[in-house]
Amino acid sequence: MIVASAAALGEGRFRPVVLLAALVAALLIQIGANLANDLFDFKRGADTTERTGPVRVTQAGLLSEREVAAGTAVTLGLAFLVGLYLVWAGGWPILAVGMASIAGAILYTGGPWPLGYHGLGDLFVFIFFGLVAVVTTYYLHTGEAGAVAFTLALPVAFIVTDILVVNNLRDIATDRAAGKRTVAVRIGARATRIQYVLFLAGAYAVPLALGLTGRMGSLFWLPLLSLPLAYRLSRTVLGGSEGPDLNRVLKGTGQLHLLFAILLGLALVWRP
């Protein structure tokens, strides 16, 4: 959303209320998705005492299954209500996107054929938390969703997907035991580590390509300021780190996602 809003601001078509509403809706969907994932992974046996990731409230006994289910329903319901304003602001296409996002939050690990258990988690995150998030926000600001929006969405999609890649790399053993056939389980740890680095490379390739072809202005290099962090994360992943070390990479990848978006946003706002 930072990238899409910065692009709209640079074009003089920024709508602050739309940004605020979109941020609230996205945050609520993210919380709802996390709660649903917490609940359904516990039910399916993917979250056990052997898990080395951050605390899961259902598995840890901090909340009951009923409480987590209620929290999921409330947050996704609130997201729907906020989304009604966005439908008013952007038209019926926004309703379709919003309903698909809410459904995806549940079907990622819930339902009779959970996406995350059949190797579709990476694709789901790439599309919904990357492409859809950026393109929809840009559309809400400008009324357009062309090639520019999709291109700017690519680096965001690559890095946000890498957050899941690290998570699944860390959980290969427990996911395999629970029958959760993530991409990492299917291709193995070595290939997953390479996937992580390739996705980071893809993220940096986009602003470079736009800048070198004259489509982004002279500050296209700004996102490169985050390269030292990306290098450290890549070196840790390729070095064979596991368990708690990958938790640090998980946190660092989230930080990289935010830093990269801010730097790319600055490059889009100021185009000397």
pLDDT at position 61 is 74
Residues 6+ apart with CB under 8 A from 260: 155, 156, 159, 203, 223, 226
53 in Cβ contact with 170 (< 8 Å): yes
What average pLDDT score do residues 113-127 get? 94
pLDDT for residue 20 is more than 80: yes
Q: Where are the domains of the chain?
A: 2-269
pLDDT for residue 80 is more than 90: yes
Tokens 């926004």 belong to 94
What 3-state class would DSSP assign to 134?
Answer: helix
Dihedral sign for Cα atoms in the order 192, 200, 2, 262: positive
266 in Cβ contact with 219 (< 8 Å): yes
pLDDT for residue 69 is more than 70: yes
Q: Round to the nearest angstrom and report the end-to-end CA distance of the chain.
A: 23
pLDDT tens digit sequence for 242-256: 888 999 999 999 999
pLDDT bucket at 46, cuts 50 / 70 / 90: low
pLDDT bucket at 213, cuts 50 / 70 / 90: confident
DSSP 52-80: -SS--TTTTTSS-HHHHHHHHHHHHHHHH
pLDDT at position 212 is 85
Of the listed ranges 130-144, 163-177, 210-224, the least confidently predicted one is: 210-224
pTM confidence score: 0.91
pLDDT tens digit sequence for 85-102: 999 999 999 999 999 999
Tokens 């962090």 belong to 229
47 in Cβ contact with 41 (< 8 Å): yes
